[in-house]
Amino acid sequence: MKNLIIILCMLLISCIEDKEATKLESKTPEIKNRKITSHQKLQIAEYWRKANLAGLYSVKRQKYLDSALLIKPDSAYFWQQKAMPLYKARKYSLGKPFLKKAVEYDAAGQLDYSGFMKCIFSKEYQESITELLEVKELLGDRYVMDHTYNFYIGLDYLQLNKFDKAKEFLLKSKEQQFKDFPNDEPEEACHYLDWFYLGIVEYELENFDAAIAHFNMSLKVYTNFADALYYKAISLRNNNQLDEAKKVFELAFKNKQNTINEDQVFYEIYPYQIFHKLSPMLSISE
């Protein structure tokens, strides 16, 4: 049974290596191009097996990955696997050099992920913009972690208070999705978070009618989305629609558990997320 597991792991490593065959030029090509023997592949497979038996956040897992990287130091995947749990544990400064190594050995495969991590996790917004613009130039308009590159660039600019630039890229994200999903209704073709953040941008630009329209589009898909309801209520109040604003505020607090539902909310608070796990809003009764 143990031999079977090792063989399966070896096949997995071979798949990983095949995906890395199109790496961009590395600063250390002599390491990148170094061949490994069949015995070394078995060693790597065994280290990977043991790494997956260790806890995701454990030092032991990191050490097994280190052992694999001593044999195959140009494995972008293993460098990314070292970085990922550290970012999830908010140990950004520890994870950043590993993420940089992953990009060094496979920019085409890892640069967008690095830009995403710097947007949502470590909040290094300017670096995120630089990396995502670079990968857009390299690969075109694509997706990472369920959203467009343009979406994350829009969030970066939003967090830098560059609202016009945020709007520019969020509109690009919307148009990209309309192009990719031409048969869907607009509220379905464009992700509900794109509509939400377009609403946030218009809210910050004090275009409250446009903000309300975007929040309504988000709410067509996520009907009890408390954060969209909250900002819609503020926009209504700013439009002097006070009775309607009061009703929507009450609805927002009634649905306060229905916040942004991305996988990453278990680790991070999203931009403009009102009803997150650390928010005092959650303790307010409707």
Q: Which of 90, 84, 76 is nearest to 19 (CA)?
A: 76
User: Boundaries of CATH 1.25.40.10 in the chain?
Assistant: 181-286
Give the span between the Cα atoms of 185 and 208, in whole angstroms: 24
Judging by beta carbons within 10 Å of its beta carbon (0-12, 13-18, 19+), is residue 209 exposed, middle or buried? exposed
Q: Please write the tens of the pLDDT for every residue from 25-83.
A: 333 333 455 688 999 999 999 999 999 999 999 999 999 999 999 999 999 999 999 99
Please state the separation of Cα 223 from the chain's center in Å: 23
Residues 6+ apart with CB under 8 A from 214: 195, 196, 198, 199, 202
What per-residue confidence (pLDDT) applies to 277? 77
Q: Where are the alpha helices (DSSP H) in 190-241?
A: 192-204, 208-221, 226-238
What per-residue confidence (pLDDT) applies to 255? 96
Pick the CATH number of 181-286 from 3.40.50.970, 3.40.640.10, 1.10.10.60, 1.25.40.10: 1.25.40.10
What per-residue confidence (pLDDT) applies to 279? 56
Q: Where are the alpha helices (DSSP H) in the chain?
A: 2-19, 29-32, 38-53, 59-71, 76-88, 92-105, 107-120, 125-139, 149-159, 163-180, 186-189, 192-204, 208-221, 226-238, 242-254
User: Which residues of the chain have a pLDDT value below 70?
Assistant: 1-34, 278-286
